[in-house]
Amino acid sequence: MNSLSTLPRGSVSLLLVLSALLAGPAWAAPAAASPSSEAPSDATATGHNAGSSVMLRNRMPPEQLEQQAADQYQILLNAASKEKRLLPDKNKSVQRVRLIANKLIPYGLKWNEQSRQWHWEINVIDGRAINALCLPGGKLVVTTGMLERMHLTDNELAMLLGHEIAHALREHARDRPASSAAPLTPRAVAQLFGLNNLGHPPPAATPLLAATYTRDDETEADVMGTEIAARAGYDPRAAVSLWIKFDGVNRLARQAYVQAHPFDARRLVDLQKHMRDMLALYARALGKPLGQLPAFQGVGYAASARRVAEQDNAD
């Protein structure tokens, strides 16, 4: 791990908690493995009941929301294709994102029965912007900026995709914070994905592409997304290292996605509160007792954050 002296101010207190969190001896100790954590029930670690998951923010029928999402997603893909930024099926980054997302998707179904009917589309746009988005209906996109500049491990990418998939499953795009109500220009929306524009003439109706969510929605997506990814066999401790990476970038560079996902004490506490259950799910996915989980493979997040900031400053 990098020296604390190299970290942005304000990260240290979080890191003190984090060091205990990622070390995880208390969770990994066999004595801590209660019968319920060795064999989690189908009840979710988030405390959400799958049966009540079609939670209902019924201002618009789901089909209508999904159609809007599909239309806006298509506008984005068309713009990326026109700028030759839509990566082809054979591209390694596309294959990597699809492989991980497709492992996660079956574990999200219980939160939204209608999602069994979704026609998933998973794409990667070649652009320096750091962004990822999943809309209701299963329309997922990640930028190469996110994949390459953040140096995400597979575990971290799984946590990120789980988080975005959770936003889609819970239809968080229905309830936009008031601060995001003002429509961005098509050009500004395009730039969120590293594109020059969304089309000519520019379509105005693309608000879902600039999705930002409430803090409560963020918490729900964190916990649910981590659970989905843990059930799929990805290390939930990477949810913490993922947000730590974002935290470094947030302090040193201007990226809309990162600014919309601050790594604050609440995010850490929420993840920490559920981590024991998540580790039990992860252990079950690996077919191992909780006490035999592999040590967490940490990452040089501070170095990654510095790299992104240096690149942005050079722009």
What residues make contact with Zn ion under the rule CB under 5 A? 218, 221
Question: Is 92 or 273 the residue whose CB approaches Zn ion more closely?
Answer: 273
Rounded to a whole number of angstroms, the minimum distance from the CB of residue 261 to Zn ion is 5
CB of 233 to Zn ion, least distance (A): 22
Give, to the nearest 10 degrees, the angle between helix 301-314 and helix 237-252: 30
The HSE-up count of residue 62 (CA atoms within 13 Å, CB side) is: 17
Minimum Å gap between C-beta 65 and Zn ion is 17
Which residues lie closer than 8 Å to 204 by C-beta, 6 or more apart? Answer: 183, 186
**Residue number, 129 or 283, with CB nearest to Zn ion:** 129
Rounded least distance, CB 207 to Zn ion, Å: 16
Residues 173 and 170: their CA atoms lie apart, in Å, by: 8
Rounded Cα gap, residues 228 and 214, in angstroms: 21
Q: Kindly tell me which of 7 and 211 has the beta carbon lying closer to Zn ion.
A: 211
Token readout for 112 is 């939204």
For residues 147 and 168, which CB has a smaller minimum distance to Zn ion in the complex? 168
Return the ∠ at Cα 61 (arms to 60 and 62), rounded to 5°: 110
Q: Residue 211 or residue 283: which is nearer to Zn ion going by CB?
A: 211
Query: Rounded to an integer, what distance in angstroms lies between the CA atom of residue 65 and that of residue 173?
Result: 9
Residue 270: CB minimum distance to Zn ion, A: 12
Give CA–CA dist 29/188, Å, rounded.
49
